[in-house]
Every structure is written in C-alpha cells, then in structure tokens.
Amino acid sequence: MIKRRLVEFGVICLVLTWAPWGVLGVLGADPDEGVGSLVFALAAAGPSLAALVMWLLHRERRRVVRWSLAWPVAAVVLGALPPLVATALMGDLPALPDHAASVVAGAGGVLGAAAYTFLAGPVSEEFGWRGYVQPRLRTYFGPLGTTAVLGAAWGLWHVPLYFLPGTGQYDDGLFTQQGLTFFLELFPLTFVMLFVSERLRGGVPAAILVHAAWNLTEELVPPLGKGVWLELLVLTAVAAALLPSWTAVRRGRRVTA
C-alpha cells in the first residue's frame, strides 16, 4: 500500500512539474516574466500540490507538530550556518553587503525577500518531500536510508531546471562545480531536515524553516568559487554531528522500553 502510494505521488508530482517546465522550454518562454512566471511557479509547487492531491484522495492522517522554541531556533541556525561559515572562511564577507542589499532591493524590499524566500522552494516543496514522502520512506528505512532515497529523488526532480533558460540552475550549468555540489548538498541537507522535522518533532514547518534559512543565506552571502566545496564540507559536518544525538536518543528509548 505505502509503496503504491509513493509511486502514485511520484507520478503526480512529475506530471505537475516536469510537463509545464517542458512546455516553457519548448516555447522558449521566460520563467521570470508574464504568464511564464506563473506557469513556472505553479510547476515548482508540484511536490506540495501532489501531496495535497494525495491527502484529498486518500484522507490520510497527518503528523502532529510539537510546538516549542527548540526546533525553530535549530532549523534557522542549521540552515543558515553552512553557507555563512563557508563564506566567512573564504574571506568574502566584507565584499558582500552591497550584494545582499541588491538582492533585497531586487525582491521588492525586506518583506518581498522574506515572502519569496518562503514560497519559492520551502512552501512549494516541503509539504511533499518532508510532509508526504519522508514519513512513508521511514516505514522502510532508517535515517540514513531515508536520506539517501529522498535526497536522490529531490535531486532528480531538479534536473530539468538545468535545461530551462532563465533559471539559476541553467546559469550555473549541470556539469560544473556548482552543479555537482548542488546535488551533493541535497543529501546532508535532507538529513538535517529529517532531524528537525522528526527528531525535534517540528514536522513540515521545521523543514520549511531550514530550507528558507538555507536559501536566503545563500542568496545574501553566497560562497564564491571553491567556497561551494567548503560549504558542502561544513554542511556534511553539521549532518554528521547530528547523527550521534539521534542514535543516543533511539538507544535510550529501547532501554527504557
């Protein structure tokens, strides 16, 4: 049953996302302007829309979020830390205030930047990846297995963006160090989101915060050049540091039981 639902979700998600992106690519429409931007945005929300379709079709129970101060703080810190540390270690921070100001101005100010940060990626994706797919994968795999499968699926979903002119991925290129590190980073980032959403019981809101903090920090203080490899290293170290904490808690629960 669960495997069939995951396949069903995958088909719906890819149809909702890849088909519109493919049409934009064939027509040569600009994904940042006019109707093209609306089509692009709706297609980018494919994972969350697919989750909505699945919930409406099957009326499945959703997980309860444990509201506390711990997971919002952890989510923001863990999401923002890797790009910030990588940029600082590369010595690029002094040259970035003007860049950050231009990013905020281009988004229409602070409120516009905040709205775009949450909607473009976090809200449009995480109800699908972390809200629907992740808990079902966890019925078959442990944390690392879930990370591997979900990270690979998340990366595959992004591939068409590298062939769609007008996107950041197209500008970076698929067979470049930016393209390679983008896909590699999805695995430790998936584990961090798994940790805050499941271990800290922050659910989808926690994953959205991690995703938003990561995206915003990368936009404001992007690691340049070889800094992308340092960012990957820091992110991997963060994920590795979280694993013993999770393992200890799980071991303690077994002893208590």
pLDDT at 233: 96
Write the single-letter amino acid at 253. Answer: R
Q: For residue range 41-97, list pLDDT tens digits in order.
A: 999 999 999 999 999 998 776 666 777 888 999 999 999 999 999 988 887 665 566
Q: For residue range 26-42, list pLDDT tens digits in order.
A: 999 889 888 999 999 99
pLDDT at 250: 53
Q: For residue range 84-102, list pLDDT tens digits in order.
A: 999 888 876 655 666 666 7
Enter the pTM of the model: 0.91
Q: Give the pair of three-digit tokens for residue 200.
A: 């800290």
The single-letter DSSP state of residue 130 is: I
Q: Kindly compute the dihedral angle of the four CA atoms of residues 146, 139, 127, 250, in this order, to the nearest 10 degrees.
A: -70
| Between 219 and 211, the higher pLDDT residue | 211
- Residue whose pair of structure tokens reads 């089509």 in the numeric block: 39
pLDDT at 179 over 60: yes
- What is the CA angle 22-152-75, rounded to 5? 105
